[in-house]
Structure 1
């Protein structure tokens, strides 16, 4: 992908970044989707949607990221339980057949 000749990068100060992220966290559920919220909030703060989404993802605050993390944590806990059960069964079998 090439950058258009008329592209002018803009600088967003850290205060605007923090406020946009905070606004997203407080209000995104009021929108039809996280993406719709990001589009609206980013536009009001004078930045692109992708910029805001990238910041949110980097901080683990993008809803899909947080949801995926929770899902993986639950799966990890389940696998640890299964692993412990299997270890116990192996130990029990070892006691039955010395």
Structure 2
């Protein structure tokens, strides 16, 4: 979700990223709130023969029909090694 024409983000930047290659958004969710909306989505793409992954959440405040404030949270780009370590080392509770 990077703005067109933007270069790579600096290390540690909170700016949204753009994967180096086109990918997919296999899951997403949009929740309308009293003051705007929340969008949660997963991105997957291929780079260097490997499958990469990230999850993002965007919260937007809407005033007078336009976005007045936006904040974005991103897990960061997960390489296959990071995905594997997470799968092996983390048990997520499920309802």
Q: Which has the higher helix share?
A: 1
TM-score (norm 2): 0.24
Q: Find the structure with the greater CA-based Rg.
A: 1
Q: Which has the higher strand share?
A: 2
